[in-house]
Chains A and B, each alone.
Chain A
Amino acid sequence: MDFDELQKNWQAQPIKMPENWQSINAGLTDQWQKQQRSVLLSNIFTTLGFIAAIINFGWVYKSFHQGHSLFFGGSLLFMSVLLLVYLWVLWKGYALKKNDPTLNSKEYIYQSLKKLHWRRKTITHFGWFYSVLLWAALMLYMQDVTTGGSLAFRIGAPLITTVYIFGIMIVMRKTKQKKQLNKIDLLITDLQVLLEKMEA
């Protein structure tokens, strides 16, 4: 069997491609805008929500800081910083979705792997670290605002907040995060095998 003949035969094979180029073009514009819109909208809403929260913290501090300890302002400032850090991570994650497809394939896979490892680290490490810091800031805040309250209130409020924060974290870890990690791990394994074979 002659390879050149196979090649000619392969190139001459009848293929059914969408014929109307203009409709493809319009479809692509649509798809692209849809993709962009969904991620952007979600990020913009979160950003607006966080900015509203930070403004609210400012208002709480300005209106009620007299008569409170340093923990009051410190905890509000700390929570604001945490929200800003989270926003930075969120927008960085958005940028990570854009892989450059014009690189050569080895470089492209290598870059994709780096990004996947970063996303994995964000889920496994950053989530916990962030929640613990947020919890600590809330505890500082509660320590201050519950001063003078009954013992049950001073113990109950932080306890309910703690159970809520860590409860949500555990549930998310066992459901959504587990699924996300499984998907990322599959992609990492697959791309690593391909990269190894390309380098062999």
Chain B
Amino acid sequence: MVRDNSAGIYRICKAYLYNKSHVDDLYQEILLQIWKSLDSYKGAAKISTWIYRIAVNTAITYNAQHKKTRFNELPERAEIADEPQTAAKEKESQLTQLTNAINQLEEHDRIIISLVLEDLSYKEIAEITGSNTNNIGVRIARIKTKLLKLMENQNYA
């Protein structure tokens, strides 16, 4: 079950961490926490929700503990070619822009958007973060708008 969600966990680490060189360490730490908590899973929540909850909480602690090494990385340069790009290159460029835009979001917004990108429902995201289910939709819409705006700004820059 952890293996089924491992890619999602890894992407959350990538989206949430300020220092990308720590992604592998955080990923290992999350697996350790899940491994340690397996006995406490009672089946009250979906297993994926439970796993993502551990992932997010471990990431929060990890980020706070590694504050000294926290920094916003210089944005990677997305290639904007004059000639039409191949589909693969275009996707790669879009991904770089997306990563750069996520890097500019605030910590809490990063948590939420990393869960949205994993296609979790509003109910699940509210359950993981402890947010109000009624407000989470508005919040997500606001973050999405901000993210798209940040990406557009990169295109104009």
In the complex, whether A176 has a CB less than 8 A from a CB of chain B is no
Interface set of B (CB-CB < 8 Å, partner A): 3, 6-7, 10-11, 14, 24, 27-28, 31-33, 35-37, 40-41, 50, 53-54, 56-58, 60-61, 63-65, 67, 91, 94-95, 98, 106-108, 111, 116-119, 127-131, 144, 147-148, 151-152
- Mark A residues whose CB is within 8 Å of B: 1, 3, 5-7, 9-13, 15, 17-18, 21, 24-25, 27-28, 31-32, 99-109, 112, 186-187, 190-191, 194, 197-198
Interface of A is mostly: helix
Q: Are B67 and A32 in contact (CB under 8 A)?
A: no
Contacts known (A104-B128, A105-B130); A9 close to B107, Cβ less than 8 A? no
Is the CB–CB distance between A102 and B41 below 8 Å? yes
- Is the Cβ of B53 less than 8 Å from the Cβ of A102? yes
Q: Give the distance in Å from the alpha carbon of A50 to the alpha carbon of B61 in the complex.
A: 33
Q: Is the interface of B mostly helix, strand, loop or mixed?
A: helix
**In whole angstroms, what is the CA distance A28 to B144 when docked?**
36
Quick check: A105 and B117 within 8 Å, CB to CB?
A: no
Question: By the criterion CB–CB under 8 Å, are A28 and B129 in contact?
Answer: no
Smallest CB separation, A26 vs chain B (Å): 11
